[in-house]
Structure 1
């Protein structure tokens, strides 16, 4: 009887533990390190990703749940850890942490490399999985080759005549440098690739089986002189193919070119056939317009919903089950296909005809143009930017601000006084624009608030960033130096 009394509470505790929220379990998968135990515990792990953070940091709070989920998925292969720099400043200082969050990769406790990969759970998982094991996997049989290339991602496979091949050495060097971006494997038996028509040393690029289609080859062969640079260029030019799957992890690499994207309920994990239904229609149209400077992609609309809402004004119900199509150029110009995506692709062809002919109107995120704009500080929106800031006859000082920015609020009375002081000067405008609700034009780099630029007469395409102090005298001295004319001062500040 006594034994049963002790066993029953134990069983209850186990059941309750299994019912804990997943978030609690995932947090336990992240090792907490500090000044006292960092060196001791870190050396126990072959590969470890460490997040140096501050509890008050907004970016750290945003990263936390993604980091926790990645830790759970990587459990058993890569250890994820975190250090609170507000309480363990010695460790953070030792590793040169100057901003939050800072992520670093450690190998047996040694600082190996900065982590510069994605900051989503999936992105961290994929990036760190590539940090484990060899730079390039040795394939011994045809079955090994088939298993390796049958993957969600593309595969780079080098086939060589023997272990002493000079090309193999260069291939392994390239794999060591590029392993964080791509999957590498190699074989020293040429017979492994004979089913693919290969009988001499070369590098094979296998595109993901899930993206197989009738418009392009799933296998691309590299036979040129092998160097790290030539292999890198080959991969860059061929890995994505005619219409890649754009994700949060690869979007920056795809957007170095003018890019058309079709967003819809794409899901290659659970519905490959359905995902390829619309992709094939994009590819059919894309194959007719190849070589004209535009690349093509498809993406999961849910993954990019906030971006589509902020950048293109897309509502959650826009498009329904049909793809929503956009073009984003490398210069930041944006276009949307307003016609419904037809299954025969004709609407997409009309959209592309108008784009290449220059008939499309760019999409600009903008607040309404003010009906009355008589205040000392002129309000500018994206739609009125050209009329106000690019006025060829007037110098313009433009402040980009956020309504919630405390620094902007502190600057407001000084900025108003500046505008009042120059109110009667007919050749200068003091203006401001809400950079949260309006697209910032090209040539203006706004990464924080407030950001202030001066657009002088005759040099509207070369605005000058204001880096001076934030008192009235500082602004006036700057404008006296930079303005295209002598300033006309008014009010009580004539002596300035």
Structure 2
């Protein structure tokens, strides 16, 4: 259900009708009227096609054509018949959709053999080509399944959670919502699926079916973009979603326990669900206590497990790696076998029984240099001390600017410090994307560190500190004058 771009699948269209079919509900467009007629419709679904009835009138003069032209005509007719086959196959769906959607969404068609200008302008290179237009503007191609029930079921089965509309009376609103949310979620629409008058259904992936929750969720509110967005956000992941690199940012906005193991629904669905079912049982038991649950493929997160949680490939054996990452960035690991008693233990982490995992270098035995060395384990003691300002530099492996800061260390109310951000967890509130990154943590306002964006000479630092420090700045016993 991530990020990365989602396909828009509005499964409404099929193809144009065969000659002789009823066409009164399908708008026929041409080069001459396409622009002004399409602009009259808020949502227009257009199929560009080559008609099956386009045959040359062959007279006696054809007998005079050369053998090369005969071969050319043979190839032409063969390609035309192949194209026509797709249209014939899906023609009934198109006519049915046009009739059932009449007055809600207009369906239209363009004969590309007679309207080369329009088809060329919209890049039509094969038949049928299906496009969605909004107020005369090309909103993009339709790439999803056609609206036969078998193909819709294939769409639901093989993709992540799917949002399916099935009520033509609310189709315009559904299309607007799908257009706004298509980068986040996957949509389809069917006029064939009998859903008992329900307007929108959310289908969770069949591979995630379980006895603890419903696989199909019915949307029962008044349909708007906002209400549909809330409905999807509240229900799409279920009790225990599959955490991936694509959806991790969306899932980690809350305190999340994740069981990492050899999860592979393509080659080992039974084994994949063995551990997930155990996690699901705990999730259903301890729901509502502020902790959410998920499962993940261990191989996808190996570097994160090692760098963020200190878990190597030799740890755990066949058992899952179980971790907690809170919305504040706090981290916990479980090194015992995953059991219901352990899950309860984790939900009670606020009592202090569960120790946070902090990636940290060892605390220096001696730290008497002018520029103090900070590691994750002593960050609170040195940087968050409420009495003094602390100018701290986050660096990688070298600290080329630290010596320039040494003269400032003589001031009794300011501490100059440095921290290797690659080997230590950086606390919340400090955004370190490159090196060096420098912050000032002011006395009495440690939760509001100020990022330094100035030059790297001593005079630049002095100017910054004179402006932002809590106490009057002195260097070498004298008040600084700039």
Q: Which TM bucket (shorter chain)?
A: 0.5 to 0.7
- Give the equivalent residue in structure 2 for 1:245: 242
**1:107-151: CA deviations, max 9, x gaps?**
969xxxxxxxxxxxxxxxxxxxxx99527644233x333222212
The answer to whether the aligner puts 1:461 opposite 2:452 as a matched pair is no
- Give the equivalent residue in structure 1 for 2:147: 139
- Give the equivalent residue in structure 2 for 1:416: 403
CA contact (8 A) 1:452 1:466 kept: yes
* Structure 1 vs Structure 2 CA RMSD: 2.4
**1:265-289: CA deviations, max 9, x gaps?**
1111110110000000001001011
CA pair 199-425 structure 1, distance change in 2 beyond 3 A: same
- Give the equivalent residue in structure 2 for 1:434: 420
C-alpha distance in structure 2 between counterparts of 1:438 and 1:292, whole Å: 30
C-alpha distance in structure 2 between counterparts of 1:291 and 1:354, whole Å: 13
What aligned pairs does 1:218-233 form with structure 2 within 5 A after superposition? Answer: 218-233=215-230
The answer to whether the aligner puts 1:148 opposite 2:145 as a matched pair is no
The answer to whether the aligner puts 1:184 opposite 2:187 as a matched pair is yes
- Give the equivalent residue in structure 1 for 2:171: 168
The answer to whether the aligner puts 1:381 opposite 2:389 as a matched pair is no
- Give the equivalent residue in structure 2 for 1:309: 306
- Give the equivalent residue in structure 1 for 2:320: 323
What aligned pairs does 1:48-197 form with structure 2 within 5 A after superposition? Answer: 134=142, 137-141=145-149, 143-160=150-167, 162=168, 165=169, 167-189=170-192, 192-193=193-194
CA contact (8 A) 1:136 1:183 kept: no
CA contact (8 A) 2:388 2:442 kept: yes
Query: SS of the residue aligned with 1:460?
Result: strand
Give the drift of 1:311: 0.6
C-alpha distance in structure 1 between counterparts of 2:392 and 2:418, whole Å: 5
Query: SS of the residue aligned with 1:315?
Result: coil
The answer to whether the aligner puts 1:478 opposite 2:464 as a matched pair is yes
Point out which structure has higher relative CO (alpha carbons under 8 A, 6+ apart): 2
- Give the equivalent residue in structure 1 for 2:340: 346
CA pair 418-145 structure 1, distance change in 2 beyond 3 A: closer
Give the drift of 1:213: 0.5
**1:25-79: CA deviations, max 9, x gaps?**
xxxxxxxxxxxxxxxxxxxxxxxxxxxxxxxxxxxxxxxxxxxxxxxxxxxxxxx
CA pair 144-494 structure 1, distance change in 2 beyond 3 A: closer
CA pair 158-491 structure 1, distance change in 2 beyond 3 A: same
200, 204, 213: which is aligned to 2:210?
213
> Which deviates more from structure 2 when the two are superposed, residues 357-366 or residues 470-479?
357-366
266, 270, 274: which is aligned to 1:269?
266
Query: SS of the residue aligned with 1:463?
Result: strand
CA contact (8 A) 1:379 1:432 kept: yes
CA contact (8 A) 1:138 1:186 kept: no
Structure 2 portions without partners, runs of 5+: 1-121, 125-138
Give the drift of 1:457: 1.1
C-alpha distance in structure 1 between counterparts of 2:181 and 2:464, whole Å: 47
Give the drift of 1:247: 0.6
Give the drift of 1:382: 0.5
C-alpha distance in structure 1 between counterparts of 2:140 and 2:281, whole Å: 39
**1:385-430: CA deviations, max 9, x gaps?**
01101111211100001116xxx53x2xxx32322x2333222110
- Give the equivalent residue in structure 1 for 2:295: 298
> Which deviates more from structure 2 when the two are superposed, residues 388-397 or residues 143-152?
143-152
Give the drift of 1:347: 4.4
Give the drift of 1:361: 1.6
CA contact (8 A) 1:135 1:176 kept: no
C-alpha distance in structure 1 between counterparts of 2:480 and 2:318, whole Å: 64
Q: Which has the larger radius of gyration?
A: 2
CA pair 132-340 structure 1, distance change in 2 beyond 3 A: farther
Q: How many pairs are equivalent?
A: 347
CA pair 483-177 structure 1, distance change in 2 beyond 3 A: closer
C-alpha distance in structure 2 between counterparts of 1:212 and 1:384, whole Å: 46
